[in-house]
Structure 1
Amino acid sequence: MINFREVYIIVEKKNKHIVVIATLDTKSEEAKYLKDLISERGHNPLVINGGIFGHSTFTPDINHGEVAEAAGRTIKEIQSFKGEGEAISAMALGVANIMQNLLSEGKVDGIIAIGGSMGTSLGLKVMQQLPISIPKIMLSSIAFTPMITPESVSIDQVMMQSVGDLWGLNRITKMALQRAAGAICGMVEEQKKEDAGEKPVIAITTLGVHNYADYCKPLLLGKGYEPVVFHSVGTNACEKLIRQGYINGLLDLSIHELVNFVCSGSIKGGEEKITAACEQGIPQVIAPGALDFFTWAGTRETLLQNFRHRNVHMHNPLVYLVQTTPEEKKEIARLLLERVNKTNGPTVFLVPLQGFSRLDREGMPFYDPAAGKEFAGVLKQGSTNRLVEAVEIDAHINDAVFAEKAAELLLEKMS
């Protein structure tokens, strides 16, 4: 007997719209092979040609002339640019605009791009602007090279290294393309549609020197919320999801990106830290978690000269932690205030007076008993937004009572 439910599930997982982006002036043969592989899996590939010159060996669904027009140019104008960097940037804008139109029409279930340095720069730029509900793969011959920075890669995409350069079809490049096709097809097949009835999401930012997330999660789950934990290592993942509307409330209990921004540490993301929740107006509780140090990626010997006299702690062979100074802590507080004073939503500063990390306790390398009071003082004196309040708690940031208070304050604001 035919199991119609199983048939329905199989059919539902097929016929997905997968966008293929390539510069067909150099990657035409590879793009056609990839397109055919996706079709064989029962999906609908849509090829966009982001190339600037030359002709394709097949007709793409959207050619480079249409891409140029979507960027407000003609293809001849772009071809006349003196620099290839300016030209590929214009094509990236055109592809990004086309992608937004396809998204609004419901014609994108996944995206894959292939290329060397030009195609990779094009693909990465486009993928950064897409929501996390769209699976993304970049098959690149420069995936794991210094040319690719963490900031250039979308927080949720897959980077695949092509073992051989994508310079025609051979047994090596075919293998890479086959795996890439299988990966993007598998991703769109397993991507579940979002359920409007799912629990509201509360984000928690943290580091390995904190354990408050272990206390906060069961408290939030018990109140009907879904906690999602973010590692404060500079990906801006939390900020991106806030802007995409996935996050309903925020326990921003680690400001490590902001600390590194002020102190010239290795962790990026300080430019955007705090801003998304303030702009979107979602309720938030902010604590100065990891205010006591910034991160240095490298050995102790690579530390800048002006940091070498400070307390330094080896977190692991890849990372050293450098203690912040009292003046740096005050500067961080002032920058934090500058951003939070612009918030559109209810915000609470929760300052633990007994320490900001596992390393900031009596007997530990970064212990500073006066730091909590001094930090809270700056916040209270500089607050100008009636939506913002500052609360002190006589506890360490890793104490259960701190986590309970943070969750309690946020739930009050969300109600």
Structure 2
Amino acid sequence: MKKLVILGAGTAGTIVANRFKRVMDLDEWQITLVDPDPIHYYQPGFLFIPFGMYTRKDVIKPKRDYISAPLTLIQSAVEEVDPVQRLVRLANKQSLSYDYLIIATGTDIHPEETPGMAEHEWGKSIHSFYTLDTSLKLNQMLHNWEGGRLVVNVVENPIKCPVAPLEFIMLADWHFHKHGKRDRVEIIYATPLPGAFTKPVASRLLGELLERKNIQVEADFMIERVEPDAKKIVSYDEREIEYDLLVTVPLNKGAEFVARSGLGNELNYVPVDQYTLRSKAYDNIFVLGDASDAPASKAGATAHFAIDLFTENFLRYVEGHELKPYFDGHANCFIETGFGKGLMIDFNYEQEPLPGRYPLPGIGPLTLLEESEFNHWGKLMFRWMYWHLLLKGMEVPLPSEMSMSGKRLV
């Protein structure tokens, strides 16, 4: 019997396990998932918790609701992978042998990596919304906050869900308007990027949208330290931005066992072939979701599109065929813009986000780089799709490879 071990039972790990459960002969395969946390988190929902749009119960479910026999779930942290011996050593002292290994352990925030960030003001005047606990604390803070200077900063890219900081800023603008406080709040977005976003067209259009909302963008801001007592952030070029409330996206890094196993780069992301997602060092190790160094967006939609194409490719590979360079880096993301509206972006490795309609040319119903109420409701409806379709490994009728149909060159 062939042994497939999947490290991580988050979005990518759960989707691919359930996809394999549907298409593999499980009399011939033993599939084991390893994850230390019994709870599955709907991470896109963390964005809404600070503003009271979602609560804790909206974003958590037991992992065992989605992982059932003949799949095996072991609740333990990973201590180390020995790729030569094909062994995974767990923190519970158990060792698992494998024929094929999938690393899907994602990425996490590390505020302690920035001097001054994770000290005595963490959870007081310095917050984040990238975990359930930090988003809940930020909800309490915003409920009582009377105004001042709100600074949202990104420490360094890549980050999980690259559009989330922009969404937070625009939802904050809406939140303060609703509560009659907007005239008492100054909002600044400090980003290491040269503009509001990574690509020229989207950066220009999103920058114009932020400007209309009276949100200042401080570009090329590479944070060196936080001075929590003085309430300011300082860049490597010694620019300073004072704040009353700092909402930060700390440094993102992959899992620590990746470093201990000698499998990762300086941020603990596993180097892979970006088109096949196979490890560059070991032919029987694959990396799905946010855990790889592929230059694709670290977002749930990216993992979904990749897995749609990965499953068949993997099954061909284990039968002795060459891997096809199937994955084009396709990603799309809803971007909440506040006031019950949103927009969408659709892009891949080669093609930047462009205006247009998605998924049907001329019809949509989703608009690309253009606000609409339908986009906002699309993002809210996605939570149902996530719990009831995606995690269960079901097919979603959206193209996995990016198409230029419906897009306008500008």
Considering fraction of residues, name the structure with more strand: 2
Q: TM-score range by the shorter chain?
A: under 0.3
Considering fraction of residues, name the structure with more helix: 1
Give me the TM-score of the superposition, normalised by structure 2: 0.23
Q: Using CA pairs below 8 Å that are at least 6 residues apart, which structure has the higher relative contact order?
A: 2
